[in-house]
Structure 1
Amino acid sequence: MGGELRVGQVYRYASGKDPKPAMLDGFPNFHHVTHSTGHKRALLDAFTGHQGHTPEERAAATPLLLFRAVSQNGKPKGHVEFCGVGILERTERLVQWGGREHTTFVNYVYDIALIDLTSEGDAVAWDCIQARRDNAVSDGQALKLAPQAWREWVKHGSSALPRLRRRVARAQVTKVRDQRPEPRSGDAADLELVYRYFDGRKHDFEALAAVVTARVLRGSGRGYVEGWLTRRSGDGGADFVGRLDLGSGLAGTSLVVLGQAKCVKPDTLITAEQIARVVARLRRGWIGVYVTTGAYSEPAQTEMVEDQYPIILINGMSLVSELGSMARDDHGGDLTACIEHVLSSRASTVTNRRPEEILLQ
């Protein structure tokens, strides 16, 4: 007891899970910081507490500590970054399709609200987590150690979440170095292969970007319908069109997706002005997707977050990650064969139709 988790701090997450050393390879040891006795609850069990109707029920809820995997020193695994404390707002059971065997499987989608930790200096004392798991400590006693925003949520419920959410634009900005593969890595070689393959072949890259966009959006558990590529002349600034379906029946809606694809040298930065030009073409109920072999500048990302641009950014590293997965699934890991298959299957989908026509399909 006595340690803390700080938002943005990277922790070494070693496979041995030894809690004894405080530091590993120059990073705080995740298992040391979070070590405590007691059992761990499943996410579905935690959801029940997060939907409590009374302060007493919410006081018994399990705080969610959220982490994301990050690469460090050329290692893609073994490190996690603390993102904050979350409250489960909604869960949905759905059936997805995919994997090497191309079969259906049941999964869950969760909507989680990150709470504001400003009063605690963007940190969480491990004492409050340990107290929450100690059967000898009452819910009321443990609550006194919780972050202020958590206590406010327990007192007022979900109606208080809009003012308790964590709102920091910079927290949603990815550093340029984290958008690029490690030098001389396999991913770096794959990205260079993609760039050289499509350099000077703008329309072919748009076909690839359209397929990757479909894979990314479907991977989030949403319904996505691929549309068409726009013709070289008169495309109005959009390179491909798709449709994102949310919900179903009277409880559903569809959004037009306008895609922009830019094959540039992997060390190129996409600027705020380039993203803004795409956003300027969006109408109400439309969203944008920008796919590139480069990376997005931090000022561009900050402007996107602060101005709430309805656009999804797919950088070079994400691009080759999706392509690598596709190549492994269907082409024995042969990236070139995967690319050629994509191009041959998309050859007949070029048109100059109006984007809103995708809503009629």
Structure 2
Amino acid sequence: MSGQLRVGQVYRYASGKNPDPPILDGFPNFHHVTHSPKLPRALLEAGINGMAKVHTLHGDRRPVILIRSSPWKAGTEQTPWHDIFDMDNGHVRYFGDHKATTPVEPGKTNGNAALLDVFTGHQGRTPGERANAVPLLLFRAVSRSGKVKGHVEFCGLGIIERAERLVQWGGSEHTTFTNYVYDIALIDLTTEHDKLSWEWIESRRNKSVSDASSLELAPRAWREWVKHGNSALPRLRRRVARAKVTKVPEQRPKPGTIEAKDLELIYKYFDGRKHDFEAVASAVAARVLRGSGNSYVEGWLTRRSGDGGADFVGRLDIGSGLASTGLVILGQAKCVKPDSLVSAEQIARVVARLRRGWIGVYVTTGAYSVPAQIEMVEDQYPIVLINGLDLARELRRMARDDHGGDLEACIEHILTARETAVTNRRPEEILLE
């Protein structure tokens, strides 16, 4: 009997690839769950693992592509990119397999070629075309017992929404190279209790089973997508209903980590010159707000003031053409000791400055108290909170992408453009630009 993959479950992925026993070292055995008698094994050896196509009466069909992300490799010469997994909001940003040392064109590598072909199928205009579309099963490597290899977490079933070419830094020479990045929507599996039956994949591997017959075994949300297309993705996307409160220790870097060292560097860099920190806060806020594919325009920094109000202004654009609108972003920057807490009163002062339709962003080197977060959730404050850990991570990524990993050079680059951007204009003027 076929097994089931459960979202969030960690599986043991042993090098021996033996389907027995069902439980291995205290974890479900990946090769047992995905075992199909008399068929080749499902593998996660590469980042992008395309299962061999089968020849059906109605044409070729690729059963599935299994994607594995290895966060422990992120930022290395081997894997210079950082994949983003936002499982609670049903979004994954995954980088392709082209590297600085790859001799072929970016779209001709095995992984990118497979995903670009999948993307074409995911853009199918008819239910018949989408019935043949390839499911993406996403995994990420996790560490267990001090080991970074041999364990993977199942992250869900995905559909590629967008494929984009971009330029990255990488290689031993820190040169630029072109790669693809894919925005992937994770599909809701609530009806299946967050589980995916391997029986569906087995049916897709059977050349005698038609696309329509195989579809009957697919998760409900996948069948809905096949029927209605990408316009249905907003309601079919995975969403996790949970209290949006993050404990204070989870907002701070662990001692001795690169994030802890970076955050200490950032705090000391701006200690005594807190007003300069506003430029960095504005740049980080822009990067965060663009992270899910949003269009964001950086505006300006405000003049020095002691009222605890806005420190920077930006604009978030939603939609396109006539079907679009702009939202004013009002930002607050607070450079404090990394062990400091931002209180509910401090957040409330920023919210008090917001007009209808405006959004606040609060960026700090510290953390947000639990009472402050609870008040924000209960009162439905339209504000984005960026803590010290997130700040350090985003600046490190900016340094890696544009400054060869030199964090101070990244900060200095941001500050060079600051003076010309300082003004006392009214925030709503950003809507006219």
TM-score band, normalised by the shorter chain?
Answer: 0.7 to 0.9
Q: 2:17 aligns with which of 15, 19, 22?
A: 19
User: Secondary structure of the equivalent of 1:151?
Assistant: helix
Q: How does 1:160-171 map to 2 (within 5 A)?
A: 161=233, 164-170=236-242
**Does residue 1:91 correspond to 2:89, yes or no?**
no
Q: Which residue of 2 aligns with 1:294?
A: 366
- Equivalences for residues 1-361 of structure 1 within 5 A: 2-11=2-11, 19-20=17-18, 33=33, 35-36=41-42, 38-39=51-52, 42-67=114-139, 81-88=153-160, 90-91=161-162, 93=164, 96=166, 99=169, 107=180, 110=183, 112=185, 114-155=186-227, 157=229, 161=233, 164-170=236-242, 178-199=250-271, 201-217=273-289, 223-233=295-305, 237-245=309-317, 250=322, 253-268=325-340, 270=342, 275=347, 278-279=350-351, 281-296=353-368, 311-328=383-400, 333-361=405-433
Quickly say closer, same or farther: Cα 1:105–1:149, change in 2 above 3 A: same
CA contact (8 A) 2:169 2:400 kept: no
**3-state DSSP of counterpart to 2:155:** strand
Q: Which moved more, 1:75-84 or 1:187-196?
A: 75-84
| 1:91 counterpart letter in structure 2 | R
Equivalent residues of 1:235, 1:352 under 8 A apart: no
What displacement does 1:209 show? 0.8
- In the alignment of these two chains, the number of paired residues is 356
Secondary structure of 1:170's partner?
coil
Contact 1:234 1:352 in 2 (8 A): no
- Distance in 2 (CA, whole Å) between partners of 1:289 and 1:143 is 44
Q: CA deviation at 1:85?
A: 2.5
Find the aligned partners of 1:118 and 1:165 in 2 and give their Cα distance.
10
The alignment-based identity, stated in percent, is: 71
Task: Provide the rounded CA distance (Å) in 2 between the counterparts of 1:354 and 1:128.
Answer: 57
Aligned partner of 1:3: which letter?
Answer: G
Alpha-carbon spacing, 1:344–1:72, altered in 2? closer, same or farther (3 Å): farther
- Counterpart amino acid of 1:9? Q
SS at match of 2:242: helix
Deviation by residue 1:269-308 (Cα, 9 ceiling, x = unmatched): 5566655654554445543333222345678768877987
Structure 1 position 161, deviation (Å): 5.0
Please give the alpha-carbon distance, in whole angstroms, between the structure 2 residues aligned to 1:115 and 1:352: 45
Deviations 1:195-243 (A, max 9, x none): 2333454312212111222344456555543322112327672211123
For the 8 Å contact 1:2–1:125, the answer to whether it is kept is yes
Higher helix proportion (structure 1 or 2): 1
Q: Which deviates further from its counterpart, 319-328 or 329-338?
A: 329-338
In structure 2, give the amino acid aligned to 1:322: E
Aligned counterparts of 2:144 and 2:414: Cα–Cα separation in 1: 32
TM-score, reference length from structure 2: 0.64
Residue 168 (structure 1) shift: 2.4
Contact 2:163-2:183 within 8 A present in 1 as well = yes
Native 8 Å contact 1:36 1:130 kept in 2: no
Tell me the SS of whatever aligns to 1:19. Answer: coil
In 2: Cα distance, 1:222 partner to 1:102 partner: 28
Q: CA deviation at 1:3?
A: 3.1
Q: Which amino acid aligns with 2:17?
A: P
Distance in 1 of aligned mates of 2:139 and 2:379: 26
Q: Comparing 28-37 with 56-65, which one deviates more in the overlay? A: 28-37
CA distance, structure 2, for counterparts of residue 271 and residue 78 of structure 1: 42
1:267–1:8 Cα change, 3 Å: farther
1:354 CA displacement: 0.7
Question: Separation in 2 of the partners of 1:78 and 1:290?
Answer: 39
Give the C-alpha shift of residue 124 in structure 1: 1.4
| Partner-residue secondary structure (3-state), 1:131 | helix
What are the superposed Cα offsets for residues 140-183 of structure 1, whole Å, 9 maximum, x if unpaired?
Answer: 44333322333344455556656544342329776655543332
> Against the structure 1 CA distance between its residues 218 and 64, is the aligned structure 2 distance closer, same or farther, given a 3 Å change threshold?
same
- Letter of the aligned partner of 1:180 in structure 2? R
Partners of 1:306 and 1:145 in 2: CA distance = 40
Query: How far does residue 70 in structure 1 lie from its aligned partner after superposition?
Result: 6.2
Change beyond 3 A, Cα 1:67–1:276: farther
SS in 2 for 1:183: coil
CA-based RMSD of the aligned residues comes to 4.3
Q: Is the 8 A contact 2:158 2:184 kept in 1?
A: no
Secondary structure of 2:425's aligned partner: coil
The amino acid that maps onto 1:36 is A
